Structure 1
Amino acid sequence: MIARTQYKPTADDLALLLALMRTGTLAEAAQRLGVDSSTVFRAVQRLEKRIGQRLFERTRRGYLPGELASALGTHAERVEAALEGARGELQCGSEEASGLVRVTTTDTFLQALVLPALEPLLAAHPQLRVDITATNEMVSLTRRDADIALRATKRAPEHLVGRQLGTVQVAVYGATRLVGRSRKPLDAWRWVAPDEGLPEHPTVRWRRKFYPKLSPALLVNSIGAVADAVEQGLGIAPLPVFLAQQRQGLRALSEPIPECETDLWLLTHPESRHLRRIAAVAHHRTWAEAHPTNFPSSSAYQAAAQSPAAAR
C-alpha cells in the first residue's frame, strides 16, 4: 500500500528515480546522471526519507523498484518526454528535428535497411544525429538504452509501440560457383550456421527440427557473417531473402521456409515516440521505401522440390 506524503518531488528527484529504475545499480545510474555513486546513494536515501517510505528494495541483483517507485516512474517518464519536447522546440524550427537518436538493430538490417535509409533522413534534418548499435543482444527501450529498435519478430512487445515495415522471408542459399545446378539434397552439402550466441534464431530452430543429424561445418556469430561465408563458397545456409538478393553470387536452393518467416518491426517507447527527433526518424518515408523486398517467383529456385523439409 502506498502511504500519503506531503513531499512534492522535483524534476531532479524524478530523473534520479528513472536512472536507478532503468539501470538497477548505483554505478550505472551515476554514469547516466553524470555524478558519482555515493551522490546517487545519498540522494536515494534523502528522497526516501522525505517521502517517508522505501522506494527500492536492495538485493544482490541491485536496486529493485517497489510499488511506489513504479507508480512514480510512469509519471517521471511523461515529465522526461515533456522536457525533451520543450528543449527540441527551442533548438529548431517548426519542421526540423534536432538532437541525438539512438537506434539499435542487427548487422543484417544495418547493411540492408538502416544505412541506405540514413542519407535522405539526414538530408531532411541536418541538425539530427544518429547513434547506431548493431548487436544481436536485445537492447532495452524501456531502460532507454536506445530510442528506436529495428527487429525481426512475430509481434511487437505489448509495452512498446510498433510499426510493421515488412515481412522477412528466408530460404536456403549457396554460392553459385559451389552449387552450380546440382540437385543434391540439402543435407548433402556443407553447412554454415549461427553459433551458440543465437540459439533461438528461426533458422537454427528449423534446422534442428528438420535436419537433427546435420552438424554445420562452420559456425559464426551473426547472420551477416553467415551470408559472407556462404558467398565465399564455404557452405550453404538459410538466409534472409532481401540479404541474399543483394549478393549476385548466391543461388536459391529452396523455396521460402514458412517456419523461418518473421516480420520486421520498428519499435519505440510509448512515452518518447512523440518527441520530434524520435518521430522524425521513426516516421520518415525512407523506411517504407527501403523495406525488404518480396521473394522472387518459384521459377527462380534451382531445386524447389528436392527436399520436403525445405519447402514446407
Structure 2
Amino acid sequence: MKSSIAPTQYRLGAAELEVVLAMVRTGTLAAAGERLGVDASTVFRAIQRIERGLGQPLFERSRAGYRASELAQALAEQAERVEAALETARAATQAQPEQITGTVRISTTDTLLHGLIVPALQMLQPRHPALVYELHAGNELVSLTRRDTDIAVRATRRPPQHLVGRQLGMIRSALYAGASSPEAMSDVQAGRAAWIAPDDSMPDHPSVRWRKKHYPKVQPTFRVNSLLTVLELVARGAGVGVLPTFLAMGRSDLRPLTGTLAECDNELWLLTHPESRHLRRIAAVYGHLADTVLLH
C-alpha cells in the first residue's frame, strides 16, 4: 500500500544560507571554509547536502572554482539581508549603544588613500575609537558585490549601477616638475624632458591618455605602477609627470608647468552596497567620508 504522507519539503536554515553566501563570495571551497572557520571538505559536504535537499545544483564546478547559479545568487542576496539584520541586532545589545564597534573594509587607490582617506579617518578615530579599519590600496576594483570590501572610494565616470554612492567632486590634474628641476614647458614641447608615467597596470589612466594624445612620440624614462611613485620621482627632479592637484597641493618640492588639464578630469565617488549602508559601523564611516572628503 502506497503511503499517503507527502515527503517533507526541504527547509533552508541560517547555517545553510551562510554556507551558500560564503561560496558565492569566494568561489572556492578553501576560501569559503576560511571565512566560515571550517575545512574545505566540510564546505563541500554542506553544499552537496543543500543541493540534494533542493533537488538542483547551486554551483557549476570548474578548474577555476565554483560559479554560482541564478538560484545561488538569489539565496546569497537573502543571506546578506539575514547577515545585516543579525549585525543590527547584535549592535542593539551592546552595553553602550552609542559606541560603534567592528571592522570597516575600505578599498581605494594609493593616491586617494594617502591624500584623502587616511587624513579623514584620523579625524574620525577619536569619535569612534573601537572601530578598526582594513585598508586596501590597489588599482583594481575590489568587489563590493562579493563583500570583499564595505566601502570603495574610486575615480570613475561610470560607477556601478548596483551600488549606492555619492559623488565627492572632481579630481583635477596638472603637469608638474620638481621645484629645483631645470625642466620648463619649452623642454616638454621640444621633447627634451624626461617623463615619469604609469605603466601598463594603469593603461586607461587619464594622464596616460592625455600624454599619448598630445605627446605621442614620448617614451617615458620611468614607468611605475603607482602615482605616489610618480609624485616622489617628480619631486626628486627625475622628470616631469601628470599628478592630481590635491596630492601636489602644499608640496614645496613640486612646481606646476601647466594649469589643470581638463581632459584628465575624473569624478570621485564614494560607494557602498545597498544592503550594507544601514549598518552602524559602515554608516558612520560612509557619512564621515561623505562630509569630509570633498574636492572642488
Q: Please report the TM-score for the alignment, with normalisation by the length of structure 2.
A: 0.92
- CA separation in 1, counterparts of 2:185 and 2:203? 30
* SS of corresponding position for 1:142: coil
Give the counterpart of 2:100 among 97, 100, 103. Answer: 97
Q: What is the aligned partner in structure 2 of residue 301 from structure 1? A: none
1:89-138 Cα distance to aligned partner (Å, 9 max, x none): 22363433111111111110111111111122111112211111112222
Question: How many residues are treated as equivalent by the alignment?
Answer: 288
- CA separation in 1, counterparts of 2:225 and 2:184? 29
Give the counterpart of 2:130 among 127, 134, 143. Answer: 127
Q: What is the aligned partner in structure 2 of residue 225 from structure 1? A: 229
1:73 aligns with 2:82: no
Please say if residues 32 and 43 of structure 2, whose CA atoms lie closer than 8 Å, have aligned partners that are also in contact: yes
1:53 aligns with 2:75: no
1:10-21 to 2 correspondence within 5 Å? 10-21=13-24
Q: What is the aligned partner in structure 1 of residue 203 from structure 2? A: 199
Q: Percent same amino acid at aligned positions? A: 53
- Shift of residue 67 of structure 1? 2.0
Mean alpha-carbon deviation: is it higher for 180-189 or for 51-60?
180-189
- Shift of residue 61 of structure 1? 2.0
- CA separation in 1, counterparts of 2:80 and 2:111? 32
Which structure 1 segments of 5+ residues have no match? Answer: 295-312
- Shift of residue 246 of structure 1? 3.2
Q: What is the aligned partner in structure 1 of residue 87 from structure 2? A: 84
Q: What is the aligned partner in structure 1 of residue 163 from structure 2? A: 160
The structure 1 segments of at least 4 consecutive aligned residues displaced by more than 6 Å after TM superposition are none
Please say if residues 117 and 287 of structure 1, whose CA atoms lie closer than 8 Å, have aligned partners that are also in contact: no
Q: What is the aligned partner in structure 1 of residue 5 from structure 2? A: none
Aligned AA for 1:211? Y
Q: 1:263 to 1:182 in 2, by over 3 A?
A: closer
1:64 aligns with 2:67: yes
Q: What is the aligned partner in structure 2 of residue 265 from structure 1? A: 269
- Shift of residue 143 of structure 1? 1.2
Q: What is the aligned partner in structure 2 of residue 256 from structure 1? A: 260
Q: What is the aligned partner in structure 2 of residue 306 from structure 1? A: none
Q: What is the aligned partner in structure 2 of residue 214 from structure 1? A: 218
1:230-241 to 2 correspondence within 5 Å? 230-241=234-245
Please say if residues 17 and 69 of structure 1, whose CA atoms lie closer than 8 Å, have aligned partners that are also in contact: yes
Give the counterpart of 1:40 among 40, 43, 49. Answer: 43
